[in-house]
Amino acid sequence: WLNLDNKVIIVTGGASGIGKAIVDELIAQQAHVILADLQNNTDFSQHHQVTFIKTNVSNKHDIDQLITTVLDKFGHIDAIVNNAGINLPRLLVDSKTPQSQYELSEADFDRLVNINQKGAFLLTQAAARNMVANQHGVIINISSESGLEGSEGQSAYAATKAAINSFTRSWAKELGKFNVRVVGVAPGILETTGLRTPAYEDALAYTRNKTVDQLRADYGKSAIPIGRDGKLSEVADLVAFLISDRASYITGVTYNISGGKSRG
Ligand code: NAD
């Protein structure tokens, strides 16, 4: 139905979490996936439809190497998924312990922007050159509900995601005439991924003045109209649909996928 057979699709951060679920879905749909990540996933190391290319998305040299390797091997790029991202829960001002490790430092800010925002820019610009020349392509930006709603204790992370949503709208306006679509996907609370580590939960609980148990209760059923966390495969299904020609009139919009939790 989606007809993604032999499509050449780059997925950043495809070794873990949402990115891995997207890679799983795309290879089930017979696409060729280029997994661009700092690390590979052993599930894919022998897979003939997956090409791993070690890439730091915030490094222009790595991105240029990635695009050169993909074009040498496949000749063109059908789609990219800007998924690689990090989150550092930090307060703007820590009133309990001023300038603690939980206050947003300049280095934290630069890391978040470099990976989440600049990384998406670098890959999209490099890949879009090929897409514009071919008059064909799809760019998917993985955002977050926090980019739509803001988030206590995660202001810099949320700002990078709001920036991604703005990129989605502007790039769609610039690239539409070349038959290149740009679509955002903003997940809410999902099953555990590599981002939700104990260190992350400790930091977020601190920034919200809660225990980890209280924080987990916030993530619980009562906050989500559908009554459960989202599955990674549910995000991957949406991404696969948006890449496909079934979504040929969809561009410049960010889809909220949060079980009804946020407005979108
Ligand atoms: P994850 O930590 O499980 O996976 C992230 C992947 O990105 C890892 O494989 C990591 O190696 C890779 N990565 C990190 N920095 C990189 C870099 N500089 N260059 C290349 N690869 C890099 O995270 P996840 O939860 O699956 O998150 C994926 C995306 O989804 C992120 O953009 C995140 O902001 C977004 N998101 C996640 C959630 C959630 O609940 N997990 C909710 C909303 C949005």
Ligand 1 within 6 A of CB of 114: no
pTM for the structure as a whole? 0.97
Atom of ligand 1 nearest to the CA of 13: 7
Which among 81, 40, 37, 39 has a CA at the least distance from the CA of 58?
37
Q: What is the largest CA-CA distance in the chain?
A: 56
Query: For residue 235, what pLDDT is reported?
Result: 98
Q: What is the pLDDT of residue 30?
A: 98
Ligand 1, atom 26: closest residue by C-alpha = 17
The full set of domains in the chain, from first to last, is 8-193+231-254 (3.40.50.720)
Read off the tokens for 79.
């789609």
ipTM confidence score: 0.99
Per the CB < 8 A criterion, the answer to whether 130 and 76 are in contact is: yes
Q: Is the Cβ atom of 193 under 6 angstroms away from ligand 1?
A: yes
Q: Is 114 left (phi over 0), alpha (psi -120 to 50) or beta?
A: alpha
Question: Which of 16, 35, 59, 189 gets mutated to test ligand 1 (max ligand atoms within 8 A of its CB)?
Answer: 16
Question: Cβ of 94: how many Cβ atoms within 10 Å?
Answer: 16
**Ligand 1 center from residue 177 Cα (angstroms):** 31
Per-residue burial over 209-223, b if 16 or more Cβ lie within 10 Å, else e, is: eeeeeebeeebeeee
- What distance in angstroms lies between residue 85's CA and the mean position of ligand 1's atoms? 4
pLDDT of residue 220: 67
Choice among 102, 157, 206, 255 that is catalytic: 157
How far does Cα 253 stand from its chain's mean position? Answer: 15
Q: Ligand 1 within 6 A of 147 CB?
A: no
Is 249 one of the annotated active-site residues of the chain? no
Distance between Cα 193 and ligand 1 center (Å): 8
Q: 25, 37, 191: which to mutate for ligand 1, most atoms within 8 A of CB?
A: 37
Chunked mean pLDDT (size 10), the chain, 264 residues? 97 98 98 98 96 98 98 98 97 92 96 98 98 98 95 97 98 98 96 83 93 83 86 98 98 96 81
pLDDT of residue 129: 98
Q: Is the minimum distance from the CB of 146 to ligand 1 under 6 angstroms?
A: no
Return the pLDDT at 40. Answer: 97
Regarding the beta carbon of 219 and ligand 1, being less than 6 Å apart is answered no
37 CA distance to ligand 1 centroid (A)?
10
